[in-house]
Amino acid sequence: MSSRQQPVCDCKRRERPVLSLHESYREGSIPCSHVGEGEGTKANKTRPSFDVFRIAMFNKPMLTLVQVKLDRNYAKALEQIDENLIYWPRFIRHKCKQRLTKITQYLIRIRKLTLKRQRKLVPLSRKVERREKRREEKALIAAQLENAIEKELLDRLKQGTYGDIYNFPIHAFDKAMEKQEEETESEEEEEEDEEESGTREFVAEDEFEESDLSDFEDMNNLKGSSDEEEDAEDQSSEEEETEEELEEEKTKAKSKGKTPLKGPIRKKRAYVEIEYEQETEPAQKSKAT
C-alpha cells in the first residue's frame, strides 16, 4: 500500500496538508489502492474526461488523485481524515494521521525558527581568497613593520612626547646645556637655580625613578651618569637622592654590559666616578641608614 506524498516544493511548504484521494474512490465505483496525503495548492484538480481518466488510472495514477484540503485545526483535520477514509483499514488511517502530525510539527518548528536569528552563509570564492592571501603577504613585506614602528617611536622620542622620562638623547642634552649657559649669562642666579633651570630634566627623572625602580635597567645607568654630572656641580640637597641612584647604578653597571655611550658623556662619567669612589663611599653608608 503505497501512500504517496505529493511532491513538495519550497514555496508550497507552508500550505495546509491535503488529503489526496483517488478519484475513482470518490465515485465509489472502483476500489482504489492509492491514497496519499500531501500538500498541494489546488483544492481540486481538474477532472479529466472518463476515457482519459481510465488511461490515467492505469498509466499515471498521480493524475487521478483528488485532493481534499484538510482543516487548519489539527483536531478537525484528524476527524476529516476519519470521515474521508471511513472504510479504510484502521492501520492505514492511523498512518495517515501520524503523517499529518509530523507535518504540522515541522511546520510549527519552521515558523518558530524563522523568528529567531537566521545564520547567513556567505560563500567564499576560492579564487578571491587566494588572491587576497597573496596580496596580504606582499603587503606585509612592503610594510616593513618593524622598521616603521621603530621609526615612529624614534620620531616620538625626538618630538618629546615622552617628556622627561628618557634622558639620553644627546641633542636634547646639548640643548639643555645650551639653555643652561644662556641662563647663567642672562640671569646670574645662584647655583641651585642654574642647575634647576639647566638640568630640569634630570631632577624630574630623579623623582620619577625613585618610584619605579624595576623597569628602567638601562635607564638607570644613564640617569646615574647624568646625575653624577649634576652632583659634580651641585649641592647637598640633591646628593642624597643621587647617591642612592649611584649605589643602584654601580651594582647594575657591574652586572650588565651597558651600551657604549657617546663621547662627552662617557668622559664625564669616568671622571665623576673616580671622584665619588674616593670621596663619598663612607658618606653613602652613613646616609643610607
For residue 163, the tally of other CB atoms under 10 A from its CB is 10
Tell me the C-alpha distance between 97 and 35, whole Å: 13
User: In the bound complex, what is the minimum distance in angstroms from residue 198's beta carbon to other proteins?
Assistant: 19
Total residue length of the chain:
289
| C-beta closer to other proteins: residue 55 or 170 | 170
Q: Please report whether residue 115 would count as binding other proteins according to CB under 8 A.
A: no
Amino acid found at 175: K
Backbone dihedral angles phi then psi of residue 234, each to the nearest 5 degrees: -105, -160
Q: Please report whether residue 143 would count as binding other proteins according to CB under 8 A.
A: yes
Sole window of 66-74, 102-110, 128-136, 266-274 interacting with other proteins (rule: CB under 8 A): 128-136
* β-strand pairing of 35-39 with 17-22: antiparallel
| C-beta closer to other proteins: residue 72 or 262 | 262
The position carrying cell 654590559 is: 257
Closest CA to 157 of 176, 172, 177: 172
Tell me the C-alpha distance between 213 and 224, whole Å: 12
Sole window of 8-16, 49-57, 72-80, 146-154 interacting with other proteins (rule: CB under 8 A): 146-154
Member of 259, 278, 286, 289 binding other proteins (CB under 8 A): 259
| C-beta closer to other proteins: residue 76 or 156 | 156
User: In the bound complex, what is the minimum distance in angstroms from residue 126's beta carbon to other proteins?
Assistant: 14
Tell me the C-alpha distance between 226 and 269, whole Å: 8
Q: Please report whether residue 210 would count as binding other proteins according to CB under 8 A.
A: no
Write the binding mask 40 to 79 for other proteins: x where contact by CB under 8 A, - elsewhere: ----------------------------------------
Q: Please report whether residue 168 would count as binding other proteins according to CB under 8 A.
A: yes
Sole window of 102-110, 175-183, 186-194, 255-263 interacting with other proteins (rule: CB under 8 A): 255-263
Q: 145: burial class by Cβ within 10 Å (0-12, 13-18, 19+)?
A: exposed
User: In the bound complex, what is the minimum distance in angstroms from residue 109's beta carbon to other proteins?
Assistant: 16
| C-beta closer to other proteins: residue 42 or 120 | 120
Closest CA to 79 of 65, 97, 66, 105: 97
Residue 22 and residue 40 in contact, taking contact as beta carbons nearer than 8 Å: no
DSSP-assigned letter for residue 61: G
Q: Please report whether residue 138 would count as binding other proteins according to CB under 8 A.
A: yes
Point out which residues bind other proteins (CB under 8 A).
117, 120, 128, 132-133, 135-136, 138-140, 142-143, 145-146, 148-150, 152-154, 156-157, 162-163, 165-166, 168-172, 212, 215, 218, 259, 261-262
